[in-house]
Structure formats: C-alpha cells, structure tokens
Amino acid sequence: MRSRFDSQLALLNTKLIQMGALCEEAISKAAKALEAGDPALAETVKPLEGEIDQMERDIETLCLKLLLQQQPVARDLRQISAAMKIITDMERIGDQAADIAEIIRACLAQGYVPEDVGHIREMAAEVIKMVTESVDSYVQKDTVRAKLVIAHDDIVDQCFDRVKQVLIGSIAANPDCGEHALDLLMIDKYLERIGDHAVNIAEWVIFAVTGEHKGEAL
C-alpha cells in the first residue's frame, strides 16, 4: 500500500514540475513577444494558459484521491495540502502571463512597438527563476531553496521600482505616449505579482516540510 502511495506522490511531483514548466514557458513567450514586437508569439500564450488550467484540475483530482483513498500521515498530508495551494498560485501565474500577452497583442494591434524593454525582459527572467526554484524546492523538500526564493522577491521589487521610474520619465518626456507607458507599467505589475505567487509557493514548501506557514501574499 505504501509503495503505491509513494508512486502516486512521485507522479504528483512530476505533474507539478510539468505545470511549473508551462508557467515558465508562458512568461518567457510573453516577454519575448514584447521584445520582438511579435503578435503571433503573444497569441501562443493563451493556449498555454488553457494547458495550465487543465493541469490544475488534473493535479487537484490526484490530490483528492490521495487524501480520500490513502489516509496519509501528518507529513504526507501537509505535502498534499501544500500541493493543492501551490497549483492555485501556478494557475494565477498562467492567468497573469496571458494578461501580459493580451496587453502586448493590443499594443501591437494599435501600431505601438516598444523600443527599449530590456528592463522588463530582465524582470521576467528574475520571476521565471523564482517560479523554477519554488517548484524545485517543493519536489526536493528543500526549505533552504524556498527561503532563497522568498529573499529573491526583494530583487524583483527593486526591478519593479526601476521600471516604474523609467516609465514615469517616459511619460514626462513625451505625454503623448502616456497610454502605452501605462500598458508597460501594467506588464511590470503583473510580473511583480508573479513574483509574489512564487513567494507563496515557497512558503507552502516550508509548511509542507516544517508545518509552519507565515501566510500568503495578497
């Protein structure tokens, strides 16, 4: 019985890794679409959001089966409960990546192609790193890595502040571009929120291992 339970836990880990990889791909494609001014690439993010949503449902079903059929002990119960929380955050990450792609698509449809988005690309790379590390820390039951993800959020917040200041400067220099600068600021804000969700995931990892939880970011 225990060997079957362990194999199902291993399957749960595999599915979480796959879901995390889809989130990373969605963020990466959205960022590349912005940098390249490529509406076709932006369009590819929406189907990924659908795959992420489906994986959330699949993993939730697996977790419920483990809870109902296997009657897990305390640590296993925390691991499964944490997984159910984690997939909610990953689903929201998928939503926010899709929102970024939609903003990009709308800007490009209006003929606006951002010229200097290197700072946003860098921020996207930082949040992808956080998502990857947070999911890996769950699979490895590694609270040290989870705590590094939480600490890394300060870097993403600093990126957000830098991008915000650049965009404020752009609006001051050219008020006619104010609407599109606000679009870029929204993209920046969505990336910052993705970082917050990665922090949530890391906090649930710590809960799964130790039983302690500080609470989700709002």
Tokens of 6: 């362990």
Instruction: For the chain, give every domain's residue range.
Output: 2-210
Per-residue tokens: 100? 């970024």
What average pLDDT does range 102-108 have in this prediction?
A: 92
CATH entry 1.20.58.220 includes domain 2-210: yes
| pLDDT (tens digit per residue) in 42-84 | 999 999 999 999 999 999 999 999 998 877 888 899 999 999 9
Q: How confident is the model at residue 216 (pLDDT cuts 50, 70, 90)?
A: very low
| pLDDT tens-digit series, residues 161-206 | 988 888 888 888 887 777 888 888 999 999 999 999 999 999 999 9
Cβ within 8 Å of residue 184, ≥6 positions away: 114, 117, 120, 163, 167
Look over the chain and give the mean of its residue pLDDT values, rounded to a whole number. 91
Two structure tokens written together for 1? 């019985």
Q: Give pLDDT, residue 215.
A: 57
Given a cut of 50, whether residue 218 has pLDDT beyond it is no
pLDDT at 1: 58
Q: What is the pTM of this model?
A: 0.92
Residue 214: count of CB within 10 angstroms of its CB: 10
pLDDT at 217 over 50: no
| 3-state SS class at 141 | coil
Q: What is the pLDDT of residue 140?
A: 95
User: Does the pLDDT at position 25 exceed 90?
Assistant: yes
DSSP-derived letter for residue 110 is: T
Report the range of poorest mean pLDDT among 22-26, 32-36, 131-135, 175-179.
Answer: 175-179
Indicate if the pLDDT at residue 213 is higher than 90.
no
